[in-house]
Structure 1
Amino acid sequence: MTAFSSLTGRLLVAMPGIDDDRFRHAVILICAHDDEHAMGLRLDQPAPGVSLSEVLIKLETPNAETLRDRAVLIGGPVERERGFVLHTDDWSSDEATMAFGDGLAMTGTRDALNAMTDVEEGPRQSILLLGYAGWGEGQLEEELSENVWLTADADPDLIFDDEYQTKWSRALAGLGVDAARLSAQSGRA
Structure 2
Amino acid sequence: MVAELAPGFLVASPSLTDPNFKRSVVLLIDHRPEGSLGFVVNRPAQNVTFRGVVDELGFAPEDHPPPNLPVMVGGPVQPHTGWIVFDPTTAAGTDDDCIKVSEKLSVSASRDFLRDVARERSVSRHLLILGYAGWGAGQLDQEIRQGAWIPVDVKESILFETPWDDRWKGALAVLGIEPAYLVGQISEA
Give the TM-score of the pair, scaled to structure 2. Answer: 0.89
Q: Which amino acid aligns with 1:13?
A: V
Contact 1:13–1:168 (CA<8 Å) still a contact in 2?
yes
Q: Which deviations, in whole Å up to 9, do the C-alpha atoms of 1:121-143 show, x marking residues without a partner? A: x2231111000000000000000
- Output the aligned Cα RMSD: 1.8
Give the ranges of 4+ consecutive aligned residues of structure 1 lying more than 4 Å apart after TM superposition.
none
1:26-41 matches, cutoff 5 A: 26-41=24-39
* Cα distance in 1, alignment partners of residues 32 and 145 from structure 2: 17
Q: Per-residue deviation at 1:101?
A: 2.6
Provide the rounded CA distance (Å) in 2 between the counterparts of 1:115 and 1:9.
25
Whole-Å Cα distance in 2 between the matches of residues 144 and 156 of structure 1? Answer: 22
1:93 equivalent to 2:95? Answer yes
Alpha-carbon contact 2:15-2:147 (below 8 Å) kept: no
Aligned runs of 1:101-140 on 2, under 5 Å?
Answer: 101-117=102-118, 118-119=120-121, 122-140=122-140
CA distance in 2, matches of 1:154, 1:102: 12
Q: What does residue 61 of structure 1 align with?
A: 59
- How far apart are the structure 1 equivalents of 2:157 and 2:34? 30
* Partner residue in 2 for 1:15: 13
Q: Which moved more, 1:39-48 or 1:168-177?
A: 168-177
Q: What SS class does the counterpart of residue 124 from structure 1 fall into?
A: coil
Task: Confirm or deny: 8 A CA contact 2:51 2:60 kept in the other structure.
Answer: no
1:90-147 deviation per Cα after TM superposition (whole angstroms, max 9, x unaligned)? 44211x111113321110011221232323xx22311110000000000000001111
In structure 2, give the amino acid aligned to 1:88.
D
Q: Which runs of 5+ in 1 are unaligned?
A: none
Contact 1:14 1:149 in 2 (8 A): yes
* Distance of 1:92 and 1:181 partners within structure 2: 42
**TM-score computed with the length of structure 1 as normaliser:** 0.89
Aligned residues: 182
Q: What is the aligned partner in structure 1 of residue 76 from structure 2? A: 77
What fraction of aligned residue pairs are identical, expressed as a percent? 29
Which residue, 16, 23, 26 being the options, matches 1:25? 23
